[in-house]
Homo-oligomer: A and B are copies of this chain.
Amino acid sequence: MSGRVRRLQEQLEQPLLVTNPVNVKYLVGFDSSNCALIVERNRIRLLTDFRYIQAARAIEDVEVVETRRDTIGAIGETLARQQVSFEGVIPWSLHQRLETAGVRLTPADGKIEQLRAVKDEQELETIRRACAITDRAYERLAALQFSGRTERDVAWELLQIFHEEGADDQAFEFIVGAGPTGSQPHGRAGDRVIAEGELVVVDAGCIVDGYASDYTRTFAVGRVEGELREAYDVVLAAQQAALDGIRAGITGVEADALARDVIDASDFAGKLGHGLGHGIGLDVHEAPRLSTESPDTLEPGNVVTVEPGVYVDGRFGIRIEDDVVVTAGGIENLTKLTKDWTEVS
């Protein structure tokens, strides 16, 4: 049994129903879209249907319960008349069904998310591998032709590069945003043809053994000067301020402010329209959050993105994003790429 599930079991006063598939994967290494765990201090039951049952039986130290496709119905039968903790992310309708089946439910929000936020050495090693692949992919990316190609075409070539470098999968749909597309922080790679004189934001990452990387670099297509270059320097300075100041013990709000204050003191005040960063791991967005609304305090072993940006409506966007491990005294930056102003062809 993994240390993760043992740490969880030690905290339990009553059975905990785990229905988030990512949390099931985290705790026992079982990867299925239709499963649930019932974790007790001295017992773990894994419920899943026929399609996944062979894989379930290969998991050590769990009792496998084969259910109908309607695994939720089986949960109700299994837990009727018991007092059970559950994850707040479960659909409301599932909660209703379990209550109707006589399960006495009390919320146990965030227990597993808190465990997941602090990575163990094995997880850190996996994320380091994902980042090393991402470093190499971005190095090759900067050598590609950009001008005259569509954003979508560049995104596809980048995916091929990731595959060649050993990634299992893409961590999310890549963003390749040139000129005005880049001014939408979550603009997708589209059919727009990239032109000389534009900035292009590339936000990409990969999955290695289930764990994500998440990088962004902003390139100049040919010669770009003036306001765009000034904005780049502001974002770079904002990121450096955050990288210099982040350490265990500060809050997500304080971390966010390290970068935001630099941008807000510049000509681009108010133009960082999103939070500074987020945890990465089995999900691309997980705890802790670095933002003006974050409830979190940073701990050693958190792995977070640091990604300030400046977005000028309909004209251009700039974002620079590294992945870092939070340590007692500061950070370990997993992103080894240059952040110098980079011209691509």
* Residues of A bordering B, CB below 8 Å: 32-33, 49-52, 54-55, 68-70, 86, 88-96, 107, 109, 156, 160, 163, 169, 173, 183-187, 273-275, 291, 293, 313-314
Contacts and interface: CB of A to CB of B under 8 A. Distances in A.
Contacts of A68: 293
Contact of A92 (B52, B92, B156, B293): B92
B50 A185 contact: yes
A185 B107 contact: no
A49 B275 CA distance: 11
B69 A274 contact: yes
- Copies of this chain assembled into the complex: 2
A51 B184 contact: yes
A57 to B, nearest CB: 10
A332 B95 CA distance: 39
B93 A185 contact: no
B69 A291 contact: yes
Given A69-B291, A173-B169, A186-B32, A51 B273 contact: yes
B95 A51 contact: no
B91 A90 contact: yes
19 contacts: A32-B186, A50-B274, A51-B184, A51-B274, A52-B186, A54-B183, A54-B313, A68-B293, A69-B275, A69-B293, A86-B92, A88-B91, A88-B93, A89-B91, A91-B91, A91-B92, A92-B95, A93-B107, A93-B109
